Amino acid sequence: MVAEPYPMVIRLEKIWHREAFRIAAFFNYDAELIAKFKAIGATYSKTHNCWYVDYSKKHYKLIKEQFKNHTLVTSSSTLSEPKQASVENQRQDLPITPKQRARPEISSSKAISSVHKSHRPEIDPRLKLKVLDDVGKYWVLKLNYISTYVKALKKVKGVFWNSSHKVYMVYRHPKVKQKVEAIFGVALFNDSYYNSKEFKRPLKVELFSYKADERYLVVKFTDDFRLVDNLRRMAYSKYSKPLNAYLLPATPKNLEALKLFLSELNCNISINVPASYFKASKQINHKSHSLGTTKTQLLDTVPKKARAFVDELIDMLMAMNYSVSTLKSYTGAFINFLRHHAYEDPSLIERKQVIKYLSQLSELGLKSSSGHMIVNALKFYYKHVLEWDNTQQWTIPRPKKEKTLPKVLTVEECRRIFDAVKQPKHKLILLLAYGAGLRVSEVCQLRWRDIDFGAFKITVLSGKGKKDRQVMLPHSILEFMHTYRNMYKTDTYVFEGQVKGQPYSTSSCGAIMRKAVSDANIGKKVGIHALRHSFATHLLESGTDIRFIQKFLGHSSIKTTTIYTHVSQRSVKHIESPLDKMTSLKSKSDSTNSSK
């Protein structure tokens, strides 16, 4: 007697998949069951490792009838029979439209009375959306990254991303509220719109001298977002964690600007320094501000017992006139090295400990370029700070470099990227990066006085390696640049950032490029530096002498420039593969035989 097969257990769950709710079926592999699910129109999901159908009463009944001889296991918390008794129930249980996203729970410190819990539409559960407490003039949203929602939020004027707290700040205004809630299809916020009169507590700012550097003024203030917003936007201001205060250049111009900013807030200013402390000669230039800010930020990341080691390294780098980027890279690598060794005195660390450290980083997938940075930082410290001679200094092994090729875009791909950018400022940034072969830092530091419109030349001052060079100014963007200047009216830098008089940030340029590549549907993962690589490659393909390309790029060695010969298609496209040659000879031979 043959025993009947034991009925298969099928677990049914309600899942969110491909922008809608589905009934998911989980079971062990069985060819007969798979055939039955295919017969009712089910689709397999590799993401959830299950077969699924639309979440509807029709499909639920169909599954129960088709698999009545099998054990169906459901969970009331995850799946219940879809209801179709009313329109309201259909909205809750059937597949929903983008404006009716599922909202199982939204945690908020303030109840939202406008939406009754029993009739609240659901929001996409992938978001795990939370409405946090209000902060000043903003509502606060916390959610997981889902591209559809994030792109929609970014288009709303009055919404911005707070990178420090990983939340979205939503301006408390009726129109902003309406637009944001339309994205999620539910009421999220209360009606406490921003009103400047609601802030009744007195604001106070105190000014003190800064003994560590008398060029600066210490600004202590009531902890209020309005004051912080004004202070951080003042030229060359920087925040000091130990003092819990802002530092401003102690110039008469800054004092007047500070009074003007605070006058609108009805703020009391207490000046605890003599009038002679404010001098025009204390004006800080961009280089001084960058170095000072970088030094402060780096020293704030290490404990007191290790501060002397880091301070010595920073002083030596600055004394030898190294750039801000090198200061960040070397010191950051050195701090990580000290942190790994519990901030032990570096002179007591042995060679085998250093090798062990590099080995562990390599095991974690460290790239050779990062390994070289660490070796350079350590060698600099031991040679220039500790002043070890050749008998004392031991050699540190260097990671073997990967021989990678630069990422290059075609001319057509570059054109598509430029066409995808509509904002004039953003478009000009990309056009200059490609048209003049500039590095992103050189684009941001570009000043109007560096451009010779008559000779169609751009002078790059203190580029990489502190080298000056001249590059071409493309004729095709001359009129575009004049139009841009009339629109934005910047004085010093061509591209200014949030603070007037200060250059645009390199990270913002990178974001512009990423968005342009996405909008242009370029199937390559490239950054803004790819435009510089493309500039060199396209010049080489058009027949430009490689020596001129070396000069335009600012390379010290011709060997660096010759890398573009490996990606240039000028010569490669004329070379025929032996396989293609063999195939063509065979086809000729076959045609000859057939003609005979």
Query: What residues are annotated to the active site?
Result: 439, 464, 529, 532, 555, 564
- Which tokens in the block code for residue 149? 């929602």
User: 186: Cβ–Cβ under 8 A, 6 or more apart, which residues?
Assistant: 101, 103, 106, 115, 120, 121, 123
Cα separation, 154 vs 514, in Å, equals 15
Strand duo 159-162 + 138-142: pairing: unpaired
Can you tell me the distance from the alpha carbon of 580 to that of 558, in angstroms, rounded to the nearest whole number? Answer: 34
- Token couple for 144: 């997981």
Nearest by Cα to 116 from 132, 98, 92: 92
HSE-up (13 A, CA, CB side) for residue 339: 9
How many angstroms separate the CA atoms of 290 and 158, rounded?
A: 30
The b-or-e profile of 317-349 (16+ CB within 10 A means b, else e) is: beeeebbbebbbbbbbbbbebbeeeebeebeeb
Amino acid at 523: G
Checking 130-136 for CB contacts under 8 A at 24+ apart, the result is 130/106, 131/106, 131/107, 131/188, 131/189, 132/108, 132/167, 133/109, 134/110, 134/172, 134/192, 135/169, 135/225, 136/194, 136/224, 136/225, 136/226
- Contacts of 471-479 spanning 24+ positions with Cβ under 8 A: 471/436, 471/437, 471/438, 471/552, 472/435, 472/436, 472/552, 473/435, 473/436, 474/431, 474/435, 474/436, 476/435, 477/428, 477/431, 477/432, 477/435, 478/453
Q: What b/e readout covers 446-482, taking b as 16+ CB neighbours within 10 angstroms?
A: beeebbeeeeeebebeebbeeeebebebbeebeeebe
Of the candidates 487, 512, 491, the one whose C-alpha atom is nearest the C-alpha of residue 503 is 491
Q: What is the C-alpha separation between 552 and 134, in angstroms, rounded? A: 52
Distance, CA of 285 to CA of 292 (rounded, Å): 11
Place of tokens 């390696």: 465
Alpha-carbon span 483 to 473, nearest angstrom: 16
Report the C-alpha gap between 44 and 52 in whole angstroms.
6
Instruction: Count how many residues are written for the chain.
Output: 596
SS3 490: coil
- Euclidean distance between CA atoms 589 and 299, whole angstroms: 76
